[in-house]
Chain A
Amino acid sequence: MTTAQAPDSEPNDPTRSGPQWPAGSGARLSLNEIAQLCLKAARGAGMSWGLAEEAGFAAAWMAERGLDGPGALLTQLRDAVGRPWRDICPVVAPGAFRAGDRGGLCPIALGSALCDHARLPETAMDGAALQVGPVDHPVLLLAFLSDLARTRGGAVRLVWPRGAVLLTADGRVFGDADELARETRLDGALSLDDVAPEEQPAPRAPLYVPSETLSGLNAFALRTTVPASDASRAGAGATAGDND
């Protein structure tokens, strides 16, 4: 999407819903812009509307904490293009949210399923850790793990062979979040900490979304739109002029 103005060919309609930013440059987006853009991109990449809402939520939650949610989501959407739902949604059993034998889980699908099961025996985590994965682009799980912590009380810990993160119910992130962002696929273990730490994590710089991410997400988002037709233009607005 660029800022080029289309020909002045339409009847009046004063409302625009889509995002726009200068072509070829990045931007500091509001969280609302990130959530909306990521929702549309996820839908454009084939997610159901309800899961696309989860994707927008997860990306904006990360951005609020200076983490590159939009970039991670874009990578995930590109990697998952064309993969059927049964291949990317978890197979759920007590103590395990596992992928089948056709590649990694979608982190949005896994995170949503974890939250959906937060009050069910499958996520009990009493005594034994909950095994998850393999999951792709696992940094996108962070928002869901925080919500899981809020539902369950305490804090949720994700441990994987190269690191660990701790998510509190009030949305603080501790540990190796940057390391997690570099992981493209991992098997992890979730456990509950009864008591959340009291300190504040080191603040991060506000997220700046580079132009490659914006254009990539926009390309997916545009797949949710319908090309204009004469009929749609004719029905868009008033028929009278504006120089009253």
Chain B
Amino acid sequence: MYRIDPGRTDLAEEFRRNPFGPHSAELQKVLNVMRWEPIEGKYVLVNTVPHKEWCLAQLPGKRGVPVTLHEDVVFTDLGEAEWYIFRLRWKKHTGVDPDQASQ
């Protein structure tokens, strides 16, 4: 199984610049790993104001149990919001926040 290399901040940077793709083959490998996320606790985005505002949230994994909204983490740009999710999942797999690692 492919393991995300925390040193490949170039791939994180590629995602930040172009979150919706198409992505390079190497970045696609990273994304494939990240997308195998279990539903319970998964970080997702909630479009709270149609076409204008997205809020960080976590899924409960069971129908009827409320979705947890992190109302202090709100975005007005969907690309920035996707980048935030990317950072969270990158950190989960590597232990490092790619935003800080690249600075």
Are these two chains actual partners, yes or no? no
